[in-house]
Amino acid sequence: MDRERILSKIAELEGYLEELRTILPKDFEEFQKIEKKRACERLLQIAIEAVMDICYLLVRDLRLGLPSDEEDILDKIEEAGIIQGELQETLRKMRGFRNILVHEYGRVDDWIVYQMTTQGFESFDRFRKTVLRFLYSG
């Protein structure tokens, strides 16, 4: 397994989240300023992409099969017992949220983006800890 590559992606994820922490809006009104909103959206997008990249690296390195899409990547890490339960469901929601941000399926709901910006750190942290625990358990 290419632990160094996965650890590098984890460090990249942590960097994005640290940047997001430095620009956190104090309230929803501040969030609605266009520069703040777009910066938060972009940092969330690339943080979620880093999560999906880590998941892909796990699938590839563990030779869990060739995934057909991002949903399949999440299925494979669940089947392998790497990430399951509530965290697995959270990853699925993150992936869907990222797709909305990128492709603007409908209008992006600013309140949801604000909530993810201000309350999503715990989910990213749980993911990071779970992956690190897996990397160093064997």
Domain holding 39: CATH number?
1.20.120.580
Q: What is the model's pLDDT at position 57? A: 96
Write out the residue range of the structural domain in which residue 121 sits: 3-137
For the entire predicted model, the pTM comes to: 0.92
Residue 23 above 90 pLDDT? Answer: yes
Res 106 pLDDT > 70: no
Distances (CA, A) of 76 to 7, 46, 63, 64, 100: 20, 22, 10, 6, 23
The answer on pLDDT for 2 being more than 90 is no
**pLDDT 10s digits, 62-101:** 999 888 888 899 999 999 999 989 999 999 999 989 988 8
| Alpha-helix runs per DSSP H in 1-138 | 3-22, 28-31, 34-61, 70-79, 85-103, 110-119, 121-137
User: How many domains would you assign to the chain?
Assistant: 1
Is 90 exceeded by the pLDDT of residue 27?
Answer: yes
Contacts of 120 (CB under 8 A, 6+ apart): 44
